[in-house]
Amino acid sequence: MTPHPIQDAVLWVDRLSVIYPGGVTALSDTSVAFRRGEFTVLLGLSGAGKSTLLRSLNRLVTPTGGSVTSELGELGSGSALRQHRRRTAMIFQHHQLIERQSALANVLTGRLAFHSTLRSLFPLPRADQEIALSCLARVGLADKALSRVDKLSGGQQQRVGIARALAQQPAIILADEPVASLDPATSVRVLGLLRDICKEDGITAIVSLHQLEYARRFADRVVGLADSQIVFDAAPSELTDAQLERIYAGRSTTQPANAPAEPPVMLEPSLEMS
């Protein structure tokens, strides 16, 4: 198992590389570790490698070289990866919700990992429903529990996504461009809510963003990426103009970058209330 290079690390990456079909290098010889309870922002433009790095931390992307290791062991396959995924929740840019289902039914999908495949085909226990309702209350949506998510606003849908992640009772949350489709005021509310909950629960959060102003406002630590490599790793207060020039390659730090679309996430089991 690769030794972690910083104290209190819960997840660490050693010389990770990802090369996509066609020879496109998305991540090159990258090493970084993430501390327990820290709110880390992966900052960079679209194509810089931040989403690839984030997804590699849960093996949604298979590395070409190098390793990803958690407290459970190296994440290749087998029990360490299964346990890591159970304790690691994801929040997506495009919510990945079941639109024709209620907010409560969507949040209940965060409980599926606690049940066998066969058990998850049937209504989940009352205890799981109570956890899901509690998570909706924490994001201010208790009154929307039975509302279909396609009737909710974009900000409300992303809060359902946060509630679903919380229902998993995670040690780690990975959020890939969670506010890219939201207006600035809603983005601030969503990121503030996510940060506050992670701090209250001691959850390690790793969030990819392209907006500098949000990184400065919410991050404990910024990991800046450019050209498939880490070019900055420190507190946001330590970002200099020269470092921002490197991260943003001469583009305006307020210019939005179009993040690549997420692949669909299929959630098949029945989630009807018992």
Q: For residue 69, give the CATH number of its domain.
A: 3.40.50.300
pLDDT digit string (tens) for 40-70? Answer: 999 999 989 999 999 999 999 999 999 999 9
> Any idea which of 79-83, 93-97, 204-208 has the lowest mean pLDDT?
93-97
Residue 184 CB neighbours (<10 A): 11
State the residue range of the domain holding 119: 7-249
pLDDT digit string (tens) for 133-144? Answer: 999 999 999 999
Indicate whether 23 belongs to any domain: yes
Percent residues over pLDDT 70 in the chain: 86
Q: What is the pLDDT of residue 121?
A: 60
Indicate whether 1 belongs to any domain: no
Indicate whether 266 belongs to any domain: no
Indicate whether 236 belongs to any domain: yes
pLDDT digit string (tens) for 199-246? Answer: 999 999 999 999 999 999 999 999 999 999 999 999 999 999 999 999
Number of domains in the chain: 1
Q: Which residue, among 48, 42, 7, has the nearest Cα to 251 in the 3D structure?
A: 48
Q: What is the pLDDT of residue 118?
A: 59
Can you give the chain as a three-state secondary structure string? Answer: CCCCCCCCEEEEEEEEEEEECCCEEEEEEEEEEEECCCEEEEECCCCCCHHHHHHHCCCCCCCCEEEEEECCEECCCCHHHHHHHHCEEEECCCCCCCCCCEHHHHHHHHHHHHCCCCHHHCCCCHHHHHHHHHHHHHCCCHHHCCCEHHHCCHHHHHHHHHHHHHHCCCCEEEEECCCCCCCHHHHHHHHHHHHHHHHHHCCEEEEEECCHHHHHHHCCEEEEEECCEEEEEECHHHCCHHHHHHHHCCCCCCCCCCCCCCCCCCCCCCCCCC
* Per-residue pLDDT at 4 exceeds 50: no
Indicate whether 256 belongs to any domain: no
* Per-residue pLDDT at 261 exceeds 50: no
Indicate whether 154 belongs to any domain: yes
Q: How confident is the model at residue 255 (pLDDT cuts 50, 70, 90)?
A: very low
Indicate whether 245 belongs to any domain: yes
